[in-house]
Structure 1
C-alpha cells in the first residue's frame, strides 16, 4: 500500500474505524477519505455508488456496521440484519464497480457456531447453529465475508476479510444498555466507586470465557493484512488467550480501584459459553498482538476519565 494511495475508512467515527485512522496516520498515510454516517448513508445504494464514482479510493477498510452487546443484538434484531446487509453489500459492490485495488471487510467472531469446537478455526464456519441472541448480526457478517470471497472468485478482485475477537479501547461505547461487556463494566465500576456503592452487578454467571483484543492492536493487524495478505479465505484476528467474565470483572475492579463486592445476576443471559479464536493463520503470516489485557484496560480507563463528558453513552 503506497503511502500516497487514497484510502477510504468506512466507519471512521466508530471504535475500529477510529483506531484504523490513528494507525494509518501514524504510519504515514495522509490521503484518507472519511465520511460520517450523516454525510454518507451506507445503506443507500445510490449514495454509495455516487461516492465511489467521485472519490475513486484505491483501498477500502470496511469497518462500518451497526453494533452492540447482547441486549442490543437481541432487541433490534431486524435492524442488525438489514442495516449490516445493506452497508456491506453496497460498499463491496461499489468497490468492485469502481475498481478499488483492495478491500478489507471486518467481521466478528460471533459468526462461529454457538457450541463450536475450541479454539475456533476458520474452517469451522457454518458447521453448527449460531448463538440465538446475536444470530441476525452473525448472519449479516457471514454474508459479508461470503460476498468478498465470491467477488474474488467471480471477478478476480482482491477483497479480503478479517474476523476479530471481542474488541475494546479508545472511543468505545460505554452505554450500559447497548455496550459490550468490558466498557460496560468499566463504567459500572467507575460509577460505583464515585457513589460508594457496596456492590456491582455483573450479568450472567461470570463463567463464560472470552478473548479480548485492544482495538489499536486490531488496527495494526488490519494494516498488516492489507499489506501482506491476499487470500480469499478470511483470517481470525485475536490474542489466542481467554479469561472468564469473572476474571475480567476482577481485573477491571483493580484498575478502577473499586473496593466493593461483585454480584452475579444469573437471571441475565450468558451468551456463548466460550469464544476463543485459533489465530495460527495470522501468526504464521507474521503478526501477534502486543497489548496485555490489563494494560489495555488501563489505557481504556484513562481515556474514559479524560473524555467522560463527550464520549458516547
Structure 2
C-alpha cells in the first residue's frame, strides 16, 4: 500500500477519534452522573460482591505486572512488555463489563458482542470505508492485532474502577477514624486496633461484677487490651464489610469524579492510547494511575498500624 493511502487512513482515523473526544462530556454525564451510576451499579448485585475482595488482594500483582512492563520497555524487551500488559490480572466484574460495553458501543460506537447483548454499529469502519481505496489497508490493520491491543487498553481502564473503589473505602475508614477516635486511620490495619480496644473495653465493662459505674472506675485504673484473636476477628470483619462497600463505592465516587472532570480526562487518555494503537505513532499509552495511588494508601495504612504497634 502506497504512502498516500497510508496517510489517508491515518487522517481518517484522526477524524474518527476527534469525534469520539467530542462525545466524551455527554457520555460521562449519562453514564457516571448520579442516575447513570445507579443504573450501572445494579449489575453489582451478585457475584461482584465476592469478586471485590479478590480484586483488592490481586491489585498489588496488577501493579507489579505493569511496573514489570515498564522495566521491560526500559530494557528494550518489547515482547515481555507486551506479554505483561496483556495479562488481565483482576477478575472481570459485571460493573466493569457493563462499563466496557458502554464505552465500546455508546462512546466509540464499535461492534460489541458478549452474552445476550450486542451492538453492530462500527463508526470507525464507516469512516474508513467512505474511501474505497482504504479497504485493503483496513483489513491489514485489523489482521495485525489492533483489536486485541484495544481490548487490553479497555481492560486497564476498567481496572481503574476497582482502584477508585479501594480509595473511596479508604477515605471512609479515614473519616470514621477521625470522627470516632480522633486518629488517622487510612485503612483496615490502622482502624482495627482502635476498634478492637473499644470492643474489649465494652466487653470487660459488661462483665464487671460490681456494675457499670464501678467498672468504669476500675477499667480507668486498669485498662484491658484486646487479644490478638479479637483484633484479628475485627480485621477480617472490617475487610469483609469494606469489600462489600467497595462493590458499590462507585455510586459515591462516580458523581464526584464527574463533577471534578476526572472521568473526562481518563476517557480522553484512553482515546489517545487507542488512537495511537490505530495510527501506530506510539506517543501515548494508557496508564492506570489510580492503582498506584491505592497502593500508596495501603502503605500509609501499614505505616500507621506499625507506628501504633511500636508506641503500644
Scaled by the length of structure 1, what TM-score is found?
0.30
Instruction: Indicate the structure with greater helix content.
Output: 2
Instruction: Indicate the structure with greater strand content.
Output: 1
Higher RCO (CA < 8 A, seq sep 6+): 2
For the pair shown, which has the larger CA radius of gyration, 1 or 2?
2
